[in-house]
Amino acid sequence: MGFQSVDTYHHLIESMRVAYADALQYIADPAKVDVPVSQLLSKGYAAERRSLIRCEQILPHPSPGQVYAHANTAYLTVIDEKGNACSFINSLYESFGTGLVVPGTGVVLHNRGSLFSLDPEHPNCLAPNKRPYHTIIPAMVTRNDQVWLSFGVMGGFQQPQGHLQVLANMVDFGLDPQQALDALRFSVVLDDGVAVEEELPASTMEELRRRGHTIIPVGNGNRGLFGGGQIIERDPESGVLRAGTEPRKDGSAIGW
């Protein structure tokens, strides 16, 4: 489809909209409800959901697929010389989480519980000793059972979107870690449209609008909307490491 082309933007945006329809319906604490993980991750279900996407027009109102079940954030990653890797995210959700501090520690408690549903029939409904739906996704990618990437993209509901775009940049378009992070991104804003970075060519924005997307250009004042990522890439054969760090937020890539 071409790097940063209209078709690439359109298909990645639509895939996120369809994926969120499922995520917000089915993802909950698996210790408390039966989350249909195997069905959601199956090739057949992916093909079924992918078939909804049209090349020239948006899906007006993505709804959850039919799954048949059986009876403020910080990211860091480290890879050592032996290929041992750690991908780690810590998050409070809101700026100061719950606003509660554990006495004598300075540790602020998170408020991820605000992502529970209050609908008693929803699998993610509020309940004791239950974890809420959340977007914390410290990630790793392997090749031939060897670590290839250890990475993460922070930013609330932008996390899965950032993961999709950064990974597509490296897997589909051959970009290196820094190029993958530097590339322009989009952010599906649920029920409002799609935020894009203002440097996206006007012709690309116009064509996306023609296909039915509500496009929201975003400039320097709110770049954080597009997330903040860090990546370490490891060559499984040589062990050579390459790293990239987010240009839109604080971060650093260090080797020693």
Query: Does 136 have pLDDT greater than 70?
Result: yes
Question: What does each C-alpha distance from 127 to 22, 93, 123, 234 come to in angstroms?
Answer: 21, 19, 10, 41
Tell me the domain boundaries of the chain: 92-133
Give per-residue pLDDT as tens, 8-17.
999 999 999 9
> What are 88's two structure tokens?
């780690």
Mean pLDDT for 239-254 is 92
Catalytic residue, from 73, 135, 204, 245: name it. 73
Say whether 142 is catalytic. no
Question: What does each C-alpha distance from 116 to 75, 89, 105, 125, 130 come to in angstroms?
Answer: 23, 20, 27, 6, 10
Q: Give the pTM.
A: 0.76
Give per-residue pLDDT as tens, 49-106.
999 999 989 988 888 887 764 447 889 999 999 999 999 998 888 777 888 999 999 8
